[in-house]
Every structure is written in structure tokens, then in C-alpha cells.
């Protein structure tokens, strides 16, 4: 790699040719302030907060986009630089509602932090020139507040380049420029999959999840309600970040303790129904392999992915496993099996999910997700919303003791835990399918070929003579590549796992901000650490799942399973629909 030498504020550093000034300054230990820049996205140099002086250049340069050249001399902290940055920020703020106290991002907002960092203490440029825009809360999972938008375009990049959805785009010009759903309609009327990846990268309070915290507080305060909570696999490795802990820490026991202190009547683990999903989905795969069913079979536990295939590849819906997601399986069992066991009327049971995902809010409202006669799940809190509720309750997360989940949905295996990372559902399925088909014990439970953050992974498994070729994709841009291979008849896989969000659920749209690729990797390591620490690591060894079949479901793919645990899918439009009302 060719290296160049540059001087940043008097220090000489060597960096690869083509590096940006921002990267060179970082090497010199200097953090240049940025706003539109995001480390996982393409640079777009929209905000000019990162300007620096380059000796010999006639104008200030944007550090995020300007590459260094050999011998370049850079000054990051001159009066001219400080004045320009502050002025650029003040101009942005002059068109921004001064509404921090009422804002979802108060104290967690990059614009607010920058204003403090750059010493903005008064509003010099008074009159707001941009028109005011109403909020768009049409979507089940997300809210757009265009008034707060600073037009940085991070959301556009993630939606187009990472997710390949293209639900939102810049529209109009000058002071009328906005980021709008395609066709200018409401977000609910475009092919937005409600993944929330845009909420993870938005620096301000212009995109965020629909708030379910108030309805959960109300249920917890209602003496008529028996309120149960389930925690998705990925929460245990991310909730600590809401309280300033380093990414990559496993906090399962504290999470359980925190939820008890909030007042939930029972604290259960979605990992239990992740194990159950593997039993049902594994048998579905074996049935398709043996009986000429539609292949490749594709996993169905990621609701953003389900909405994506419904919009963009509706002719392939029969490739999807018919299994509901673990969240929905849990809800259906809570209002039947658990209700019976606990002697409760299902109408009095209120099911709350803690999910890393915004799309789960959409999923729980799907009409087909109420096979018990009641909604399987009543409210979905993202990791961020749970953090907010725990702070409101004054719970000091880091000081909580480790507690155990409640039975019967608290006994889980490592296979359930790894659902939280890309490749985890595939690995969990292979651990079970191998032993069910071959009747032999796996030599090693670790299928490392399907682990990690890489966009598309492949592996081949020998089931005693029958070779099964599998693929794993995370992020919808990668899912689209796999679907196009299927469309072209070039995919010779039997089983595919697709997760909507980059890295899988550990990188879900409801996870703590920031969520970057570096942080995703740390959360993935923690997931496999949690898996390795459990005494049971295969779903079919979960004793509570065995009891569930003995006492209630009878057998995998049986009548009760079909009624409660399986579902169907809906063809949706790819193009914007007219707004209603």
C-alpha cells in the first residue's frame, strides 16, 4: 500500500494514499467535528461542519471528502476554521425548531452536542426561512418529523445503498428541499419495510420509532392485567450501551432483574420460542427436502425481510418458511398454553416484547398475527425505548444483581441465543437438522462458516450422504443479490437465512445509537460468548420445549402448531400508493 506523509496541526503522520483529511487527523489524535458524515456510509460533504485549512488552498476544505496528498499541511483549529464551523452550524440551527426539551433525541442528539462543542450560545440568525412541515406518523413502526431534518442525507444513503429499498429520497429545491417518501406520499404508502436503519443513522430527532412506552406503563399500572415480557436474543448484548457500558457485554441476568423492577409479572425469554422455531422450521425443511417441496426454503423470522419480499419479490413467497417469528410464536403461546397453565383468561394477559427491531412493531399489528382471537403481542419496545423506561424508573442498570428468567419460557439453549446474529438461525437449524436426519451426535456444534458480518456467506453440510448447500445474507442489499440469483435460476441452495438488518438483529433498527460496524462486531462476539456459556446448545435438547410438545402441541407441524405457530404472507405493491386522507 502506497503511503503519504502529511502534517496535521504540526504533527507528521503517515497514512495510505487516498485517505481523507478526516482519517489523517484521526491518526494524529485529532477528532474533527462532523455532522453529515457517518463512518459506515459514503461521504457526502453536505454540512461543511468538518472544514479545515489546507496550506496553499484558497478555500477551506471539507475534511470528510478531501483526500490528502503527500506533503499536505493541514490546520484543523485556526480562528478561521472555528468561525466557519460555528457559522455553518448556526445557519443550520436557524432553520431548526428550538424544541430540545420535547424532542425524542434530547441529550442524545448530534446537533445538540455539536452546538455545545462549537460554543453556540445564542441564536444570531433569527428568522426561520424553511416552511414548516407536519409529522408523518402513518407507518406502524416509524415517525418522520421533517421539521427537524437537517438534510444530511444519511437516511437516504442507508435506505438506498445498504437496504436497496429506496423508500425515501430528496425532493424539491432550495429552501423547499425535503427528504420525502417516494412519490411524496406518506411513509405507509411506499415500500418502506420499517427496518429503522434510517433511525440508527439520523443524527437528530427527524426519524424515530413509534412510541409504545406509554401503553406499556398503562398496562403495568392496570391491576386487571397480567403483564408478561419477552426479551429477544440480541437485547442482552446491547441494552448495557443505553447505560454507558462498553459494547459487547453480556448482561442477561441484569436485564431480567431490570424488567422485574419495572413491574412485569413474568419475565420470559424469546430464546425459548427461537428454539421452538428451529424445531418447526427444521421439520419443515426436512419435509421439503424429502417430499419435493419448494426449495430453497428461506427463513421467515425477520419482519423487515418479510415485508421486503412481499413488496419486491412477491412471486417467491412460497419459498418462505411458514413459521411465524419467535416473537409471534411466543405471544400465541402466552395466550394459550401459558394462560391454561397459569389459570388466566387470555384477555387479561398483556404481552410486551423487547426487540432490537422497529419492524416488529409493524409485525405485531399484522391481521394474521392474532390466531388466538387476541393479538399475539400487545406492545413492542425497542432496546432504546426500554433504556428510556428504565431511566424514567431510576433503575441503575449496572448495579443490578443477575436474576433468572421465569419458567416455563425461561429455559433456553445456545441455539436460541445465536438467533441474534447473522448466521445464527442457520447454525441453530443445522445443529438440529443434522442430528434429527442422521441420528448421530454432531462432532462440533460450531458452524463457523456462517458466522460474522460478511454480507453473504455460504456453506455445505453433509447429512450422511445428502449434501445440503446453504446461504446466509444480512442487510437487504445482500438479500436482493440472493433473490436475483434465485430469479436467474443460478442459486443451487436448499436453505437460505435472510436477516433484514446489517449483522442481523444485533444491528437492528431499534438498537442503541450509535450502531456502527465496529459495534456490531463486538455485539456478535458477545452473542457467541453467551452461546458457549450455556449448558445446552441445541434446540431439540431444550427440556421445556419437549414438555410443550408433550403437554400441548403434540408434534412438530401438527394441527395446533399450524393454527398457532405458522402463518401466510401478503403480496404488496412495489410502487407508491396514493395517500389515504
Q: Considering 19, 238, 302, 321, which one is annotated as catalytic?
A: 321
Catalytic residue check, 157: no
Q: How many CB atoms lie within 10 A of CB 341?
A: 12
Strands lying side by side in the sheet with 61-62: 11-16, 3-8, 73-75, 51-54, 61-62
Using the rule CB under 6 A, give the single segment among 199-207, 220-228, 260-268, 282-290 that binds ligand SF4: 199-207
Among 48, 86, 153, 360, binds ligand SF4 (CB under 6 A): 153
Catalytic residue check, 360: yes
Pair 248, 257: CB distance under 8 Å: no
Catalytic residue check, 65: no
96 binds ligand SF4 (CB under 6 A): yes
Give the end-to-end CA distance of the chain in Å, rounded to a whole number. Answer: 58
382 binds ligand SF4 (CB under 6 A): no
Among 197, 238, 270, 371, binds ligand SF4 (CB under 6 A): 197
167 binds ligand SF4 (CB under 6 A): yes
User: Which lies closer to ligand SF4 via its Cβ, residue 198 or residue 425?
Assistant: 198
Q: What is the CA radius of gyration of the chain?
A: 25
430 binds ligand SF4 (CB under 6 A): no
User: Which lies closer to ligand SF4 via its Cβ, residue 156 or residue 417?
Assistant: 156
* Interaction mask 203-242, ligand SF4, x per CB under 6 A: xxxxx-----------------------------------
**Cα dist from 480 to 106, 486, 507, whole Å:** 36, 10, 18
202 binds ligand SF4 (CB under 6 A): yes
* Interaction mask 102-141, ligand SF4, x per CB under 6 A: -x-xx--x-xx-----------------------------
Strand ranges for 160-311 from DSSP E: 168-171, 178-181, 207-209, 226-231, 266-269, 297-298
* Interaction mask 69-88, ligand SF4, x per CB under 6 A: --------------------
429 binds ligand SF4 (CB under 6 A): no
Sign of CA dihedral 496, 413, 530, 431: negative
**Cα dist from 311 to 189, 306, 480, 573, whole Å:** 12, 9, 12, 5
Using the rule CB under 6 A, give the single segment among 201-209, 236-244, 491-499, 572-580 that binds ligand SF4: 201-209
Q: Which of left, alpha, beta for 89 (phi over 0: left; psi -120 to 50: alpha)?
A: alpha
DSSP result, 47-67:
S--SEEEETT-SS-EETTTPB
Pair 166, 61: CB distance under 8 Å: no
Integer Cα distance of 495 and 168 in angstroms: 32
317 binds ligand SF4 (CB under 6 A): no
User: Which lies closer to ligand SF4 via its Cβ, residue 112 or residue 238?
Assistant: 112
What residues are annotated to the active site? 281, 284, 301, 321, 360, 363, 368, 505
Contacts with ligand SF4, residue ranges (CB under 6 A): 96-97, 99-100, 103, 105-106, 109, 111-112, 142, 148-155, 158-159, 163, 165, 167-168, 179, 192-198, 201-207
Amino acid at each position: 500500500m502506497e503511503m503519504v506523509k502529511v502534517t496535521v496541526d504540526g504533527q507528521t503522520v503517515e497514512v495510505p494514499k487516498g485517505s481523507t483529511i478526516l482519517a489523517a487527523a484521526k491518526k494524529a489524535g485529532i477528532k474533527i467535528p462532523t455532522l453529515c458524515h457517518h463512518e459506515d456510509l459514503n461521504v457526502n460533504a453536505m454540512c461543511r461542519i468538518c472544514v479545515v485549512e489546507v496550506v496553499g488552498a484558497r478555500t477551506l476544505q471539507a475534511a470528510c471528502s478531501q483526500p490528502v496528498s503527500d506533503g499536505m499541511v493541514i490546520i484543523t483549529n485556526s480562528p478561521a476554521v472555528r468561525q466557519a464551523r460555528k457559522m455553518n452550524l448556526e445557519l443550520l440551527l436557524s432553520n431548526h425548531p428550538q424544541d430540545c426539551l420535547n424532542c425524542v433525541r434530547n441529550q442524545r442528539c448530534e446537533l445538540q452536542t455539536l452546538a455545545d462543542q462549537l460554543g453556540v450560545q445564542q441564536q444570531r440568525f433569527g428568522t426561520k426561512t424553511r416552511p414548516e412541515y407536519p409529522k408523518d406518523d402513518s407507518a406502524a413502526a416509524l415517525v418522520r418529523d421533517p421539521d427537524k431534518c437537517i438534510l444530511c442525507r444519511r437516511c437516504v444513503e442507508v435506505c438506498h445503498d445498504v437496504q436497496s429499498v429506496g423508500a425515501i429520497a430528496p425532493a424539491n429545491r432550495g429552501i423547499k428541499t425535503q427528504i420525502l417518501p417516494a412519490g411524496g406520499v406518506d411513509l405507509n404508502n411506499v415500500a418502506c419495510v420499517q427496518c429503522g436503519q434510517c433511525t440508527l443513522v439520523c443524527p437528530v430527532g427527524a426519524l424515530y420509532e413509534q412510541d409504545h412506552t406509554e401503553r406499556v406503563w398503562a398496562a403495568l399500572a392496570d391491576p386487571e392485567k397480567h403483564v408478561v415480557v419477552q426479551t429477544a436474543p440480541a437485547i442482552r448484548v446491547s441494552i448495557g450501551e443505553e447505560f454507558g457500558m462498553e459494547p459487547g457485554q453480556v448482561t442477561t441476568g441484569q436485564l431480567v432483574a431490570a424488567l422485574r423492577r419495572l413491574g412485569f409479572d413474568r419475565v420470559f425469554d424469546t430464546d425459548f420460542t427461537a428454539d421452538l422455531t428451529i424445531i418447526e422450521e427444521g421439520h419443515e425443511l426436512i419435509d421439503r427436502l424429502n417430499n419435493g417441496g419448494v426449495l430453497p426454503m428461506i427463513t421467515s423470522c425477520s419482519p423487515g425481510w418479510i415485508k421486503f419480499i412481499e413488496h419486491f419479490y412477491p412471486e417467491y413467497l412460497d419459498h418462505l418458511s411458514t413459521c411465524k417469528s419467535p416473537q409471534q410464536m411466543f405471544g400465541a403461546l402466552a395466550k394459550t398454553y401459558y394462560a391454561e397453565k397459569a389459570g388466566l383468561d387470555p384477555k387479561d394477559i398483556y404481552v410486551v416484547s423487547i426487540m432490537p427491531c422497529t419492524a416488529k412493531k409493524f409485525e405485531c399489528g399484522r391481521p394474521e398475527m392474532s390466531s388466538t382471537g387476541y393479538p399475539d403481542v400487545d406492545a413492542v419496545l425497542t432496546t432504546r425505548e426500554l433504556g428510556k423506561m428504565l431511566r424514567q424508573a431510576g433503575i441503575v442498570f449496572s448495579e443490578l444483581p443477575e436474576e433468572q428468567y421465569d419458567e416455563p419460557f425461561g429455559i433456553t439453549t445456545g441455539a436460541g441465543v445465536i438467533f441474534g446474529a447473522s448466521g445464527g438461525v442457520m447454525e441453530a437449524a443445522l445443529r438440529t437438522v443434522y442430528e434429527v436426519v442422521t441420528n448421530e451426535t454432531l462432532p462440533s456444534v460450531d458452524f463457523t462458516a456462517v458466522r460474522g458480518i460478511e454480507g453473504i456467506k455460504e456453506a455445505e453440510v453433509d447429512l450422511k450422504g445428502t449434501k445440503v448447500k446453504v446461504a446466509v445474507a444480512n442487510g437487504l442489499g445482500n438479500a436482493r443479490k440472493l433473490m436475483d440469483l434465485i430469479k436467474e435460476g443460478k442459486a443451487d441452495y436448499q436453505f437460505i437465512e435472510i436477516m433484514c438488518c446489517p449483522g442481523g438483529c444485533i444491528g437492528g433498527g431499534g438498537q442503541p445509537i450509535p450502531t456502527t460496524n465496529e459495534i456490531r462486531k463486538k455485539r456478535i462476539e458477545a452473542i457467541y460468548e453467551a452461546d458457549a456459556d450455556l449448558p445446552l446448545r441445541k434446540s431439540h435438547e431444550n427440556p421445556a420445549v419437549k414438555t410443550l410438545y408433550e403437554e400441548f402441541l403434540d408434534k412438530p407441524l401438527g394441527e395446533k402448531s399450524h393454527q398457532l405457530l405458522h402463518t401466510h404472507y401478503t403480496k404488496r405493491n412495489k410502487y407508491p400508493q396514493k395517500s389515504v386522507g
